Amino acid sequence: MEELPLRAEEFVIMSTILITGANRGLGLEFAHQYAADGWEVLAASRQPEMSADLKQLAAQHPTVGLHRLDVTDEEFVQDLADKLDGKPIDVLLHSSGIYPREGQHIGEIDYDGWREAMETNLFGVMRVTEALLEKRCGQSTQADCRHLHVIELAVRRAGWFGGAGRHVLPITAAARRL
């Protein structure tokens, strides 16, 4: 029996990362770094087609795929989960996040802004993680689900809350610990 030669590229196992908020800032930088390291990068943002930097990255690296995702919208989240259809993802990096710019002082709190931040920074993380795990692990054993590493970049901002030396409490980070 003749042995067939083995080609190294047939045995390369590429790791996959899904990055939310990949259109700018840390999300975009992580997308660049992981793509340069040879990872398959699933770059998600609300309007990836509007990000020249993200489109350029995808043009330079065939392992970068652009995906439309609004973490506050259940339909967008489910559409992405359906599109990925249980695709193995090694790292889920949540980089999407917002921070209310106004209403930071006692007597001026912008509760609508904080609700929007919580919807994105807390519930968005939960919504995306749950949808992807349900698709991937719904019919599987728990051992199949332990492989996913979830990283959440909390939005941080140095500043004061009401003066008198009280620092801004990272509210959304605190809520995730509950």
**In 10 A of CB 86, how many CB atoms?**
16
pTM (two decimals): 0.76
Task: Compute the distance between CA of residue 45 and CA of residue 68 in angstroms, rounded to an integer.
Answer: 5
What's the token pair of residue 91?
């790292």
Give the model's pLDDT for residue 86. 75
Pairing relation of β-strands 91-94 and 16-20?
A: parallel
Per-chain mean pLDDT for the chain: 79
Give the model's pLDDT for residue 99. 81
Q: What is the mean pLDDT of residues 46-71?
A: 96
Helix (H, G, I), strand (E, B) or coil at 78: helix
Give the model's pLDDT for residue 19. 96
Among 27-36, 67-76, 147-156, which stretch is predicted with the lowest mean pLDDT?
A: 147-156
Domains of the chain are 12-176 (3.40.50.720)
What's the token pair of residue 138?
């719904």
